[in-house]
Amino acid sequence: MKIHGLIRRRILVNFRVLPDVMQRLLPEPFRPKLLDGLAVAGICLIRLEQIRPVGLPAFLGLTSENAAHRVAVLWTKDDGSPTEGVYIPRRDTSSFANHLAGGRLFPGEHHRATFTVTDGPGGIDFRLRSQDGKVAVDLRAKAATSLPSTSRFSSMEDASRFFELGSLGYSATRRGDRLDGIHLDTNGWRVEPLAVEHVHSSFFADRSLFPEGSVEFDCALLMRDIEHSWRSAPAVHLAAPAQTIA
């Protein structure tokens, strides 16, 4: 099934991670895609509107707030060709429909979560709390004209290209022996920098997964009002269970 809609707001919150630490959390066949010798992981915080199967009118579409923890990865296909995308150990959503249909009617299983979002001229204030108590995300940010000086990306163009190439995503599933595949197609790709005043992620703050000094915030990027569609990609079957954010 192909799903169409509008990305009203998409925030990519990005962290740099030591490659060996990140590799331990990745299932075969993935390996980290490196930026200046470091893995890149983060959270995609996305508001979707008018979401419906292709062919239905926009007014019948659904609206939801969503979050996906993700890692930029490389791997080699069975035919020997190299490719890249993102590995997604966890998805959360405000939508019961997404929770119910994800992994069934379309790829990507979703956990239920409560989202509190203020998005206005003064900036964006974002709060996520999962219903199972496993995931918490807090972000406070405002518009910026450039990346932070501490970012390892050399320019906005460099950062934009890095994430544009990650349109193919593979999500962990409850069964653990299969990854659901989904491909994002956008009608235009426009990103701008965000100045982050505060960010906290329970996942990246977990020292059992990311020892002290192994992970650092890099930058945040913002997209708005992008027409898009999602289409299924072939599932990946695993020899060993994938680690998820339980």
Rg, C-alpha atoms of the chain: 17
Distance (Å, whole) CA 121 – CA 16: 29
Q: How far is CA 53 from the centre of its chain?
A: 22
Q: What mean pLDDT is reported for the chain?
A: 91
User: How far apart are the C-alpha atoms of 134 and 202, rounded to whole Å?
Assistant: 8
Calpha distance 221→143 (Å, rounded): 10
Domain edges within the chain: 3-237
Amino acid type, 212? E
Kindly provide the residue ranges of all beta strands, DSSP E only, lying in 77-131, ordered along the sequence. 82-93, 111-120, 123-130
How many angstroms separate the most distant Cα atoms in the chain?
50
DSSP per position, 41-89: EEEEEEEEEEEEETTS-GGG-EEEEEEEEEEEEEEE-TTS-EEEEEEEE
Selection from 164, 146, 133, 120 nearest residue 219 by Cα: 146
Mean pLDDT across 198-215: 97
pTM of the model: 0.93
| Predicted local confidence at residue 79, as pLDDT | 82
pLDDT given for residue 243 in this prediction: 65
- Per residue in 126-179, pLDDT (tens digit) is 999 999 999 999 999 999 999 999 999 999 999 999 999 999 999 988 877 889
Q: Domain 3-237 belongs to what architecture?
A: Beta Barrel (2.40)
Mean pLDDT, residues 14-28: 97
Q: What tens digit of pLDDT does each residue of 90-119 get?
A: 999 998 666 665 555 566 788 999 999 999
Question: Does the pLDDT of residue 244 top 90, yes or no?
Answer: no
Instruction: Tell me what the mean pLDDT of segment 188-217 comes to.
Output: 97
pLDDT at position 175: 78
Flag the least confident range among 4-8, 53-57, 215-219, 224-228: 53-57
Phi, psi values for residue 151, rounded to 5°: -65, 145
pLDDT band at 60 (very low <50, low <70, confident <90, very high): confident
Once rounded to an integer, what is the mean pLDDT over residues 60-77? Answer: 93
> d(Cα 49, Cα 8) in Å, to the nearest integer?
6
